[in-house]
């Protein structure tokens, strides 16, 4: 496995692969790899000749009061995991390599960033869009793999790729979960044992919504209120949002249709967790 640290070297390597007729799959990450990331890598590997993984904690997607400085990092562990899964190249740039002095470009995807985490984390998706656009230009992949756990992020990237005519296939992969249903996330490691127990309120909320839907409930407010009551019953929780929205536009709906996205963001202790499920027949 090759480790590439500069933009120029990564672009040269990718260009050579393309000229040799090789296809490139790309998995962008912020490191502290867990089983969810490894699944994205396996999917990437199965779809292309070469798998490139990037590890870069992107400062532009963190708000001023968020956890950029304390975001977990484990370079040695990450490299070992990427190697074990069969990554061919790890792109591992320094902050100044990605954002040199004078950097001033923004990439803004509009409507699908207004609700959910876009409201709760202003500017977050501008940071995600700009870094992913840059990474796409650096790695030059044929396809890029993202987790459905970050449903809004996947929507934003798909929109950006289509709107800017980027010739890259975007592949979404179902969320990988712990045996009790908690979605895998690098932030889970912040949870103490009591909070870890309370964090199950996300999975229980999605089960509850599905049950209510199956029993005929279509009123989004009724489902939302039931979920809020369930979450508030769990200690150490603070709801950021509970949203029932259109799975394409991500705008809130008043009634559940054939397919509705339930998206949740809940602070458990100091840790903000997100999850989602498509509620449908």
Instruction: Choose between 59 and 181: whose C-beta lies nearer to ligand PAF.
Output: 59
| 88, 126, 150, 195: residue in contact with ligand PAF (rule CB under 6 A) | 150
Q: Which two tokens stand for residue 255?
A: 């009634």
Indicate the residue among 128 and 206 with the shorter CB distance to ligand PAF: 128
CB 43, min distance to ligand PAF, A: 15
Query: Does the annotation count 34 as an active-site position?
Result: no
Q: Please state, as a whole number, how many other Cβ atoms lie within 10 Å of the Cβ of residue 192.
A: 12
User: Given 37, 124, 142, 234, which residue is catalytic?
Assistant: 37
φ, ψ dihedrals at 3, nearest 5°:
-110, 125
Using DSSP's 3-state secondary structure scheme, residue 72 falls into coil
Residue reference for tokens 């592949």: 171
Q: How far apart are CB 81 and ligand PAF at their closest, in Å?
A: 15
CB of 96 to ligand PAF, least distance (A): 17
Q: CB of 54: closest distance to ligand PAF in angstroms?
A: 7
44 is an interface residue for ligand PAF by CB under 6 A: no
Site for ligand PAF in 50-69 (CB under 6 A): 58, 61
- Nearest to 229, CA basis, from 209, 245, 215: 209
Q: Least Å distance between CB 57 and ligand PAF?
A: 8
Interatomic CA distance for residues 51 and 109, integer angstroms: 27
Q: Which residue matches tokens 């959910």?
A: 116
Could you say whether residue 30 binds ligand PAF (CB under 6 A)?
Answer: yes
Residues in the chain: 281
Contact 270, 281 (CB under 8 A): no
Measured distance CA(131)–CA(28) in Å, rounded: 10
CB of 186 to ligand PAF, least distance (A): 8
Tell me the window of 11-19, 23-31, 77-85, 222-230 that interacts with ligand PAF (CB under 6 A): 23-31
Using DSSP, state whether 272 is helix, strand or coil: strand
Element (H, E) at 241: strand 237-246
Which of 144/220 has CB closer to ligand PAF? 144
- Give the nearer residue to ligand PAF in terms of CB position, either 173 or 182: 173
Q: What is the DSSP string of 149-169?
A: GGHHHHHHHHHHHHHTT---E
- Enumerate residues 108-137 that contact ligand PAF by CB under 6 A: 128, 131-132
Q: Judged by CB under 6 A, which stretch of 22-30, 82-90, 218-226, 239-247 contacts ligand PAF?
A: 22-30
The owner of tokens 């987790």 is: 147
Q: Which of 7, 13, 14, 28 binds ligand PAF (CB under 6 A)?
A: 28
Given 13, 14, 29, 243, the residue binding ligand PAF (CB under 6 A)? 29
CA distances from 218 to 115, 221, 251, 275 (A): 21, 9, 16, 21
Residues that are catalytic: 37
Q: Interface residues with ligand PAF (CB under 6 A)? A: 28-30, 58, 61, 128, 131-132, 150, 153
């Amino acid at each position: 496995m090759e480790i590439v640290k500069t933009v120029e070297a990564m672009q040269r390597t990718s260009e050579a692969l393309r000229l040799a007729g090789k296809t490139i799959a790309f998995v962008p990450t912020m490191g502290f790899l867990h089983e969810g990331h490894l699944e994205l890598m396996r999917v990437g590997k199965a779809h292309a000749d070469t798998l490139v993984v990037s590890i870069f904690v992107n400062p532009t997607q963190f708000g001023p009061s968020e956890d950029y400085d304390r975001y977990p990092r484990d370079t040695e562990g990450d490299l070992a995991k990427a190697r074990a899964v069969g990554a061919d190249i790890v792109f591992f740039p320094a902050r100044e390599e990605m954002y040199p002095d004078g950097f001033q470009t923004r990439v803004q995807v509009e409507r699908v960033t207004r609700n959910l985490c876009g409201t709760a984390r202003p500017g977050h998706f501008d940071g995600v869009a700009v870094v992913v656009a840059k990474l796409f230009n650096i790695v030059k992949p044929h396809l890029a793999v993202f987790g459905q756990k970050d449903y809004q992020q996947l929507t934003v990237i798909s929109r950006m790729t289509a709107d800017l005519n980027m010739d890259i296939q975007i592949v979404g992969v179902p969320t990988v979960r712990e045996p009790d249903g908690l979605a895998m996330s690098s932030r889970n490691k912040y949870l103490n044992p009591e909070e870890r127990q309370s964090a199950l309120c996300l999975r229980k909320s999605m089960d509850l919504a599905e049950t209510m839907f199956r029993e005929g409930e279509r009123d989004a407010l009724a489902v939302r209120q039931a979920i809020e009551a369930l979450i508030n019953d769990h200690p150490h929780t603070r709801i950021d949002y509970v949203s029932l929205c259109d799975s394409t536009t991500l705008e809130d709906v008043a009634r559940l249709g054939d397919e509705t996205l339930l998206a949740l963001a809940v602070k458990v202790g100091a840790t903000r967790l997100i999850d989602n499920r498509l509620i449908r027949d």
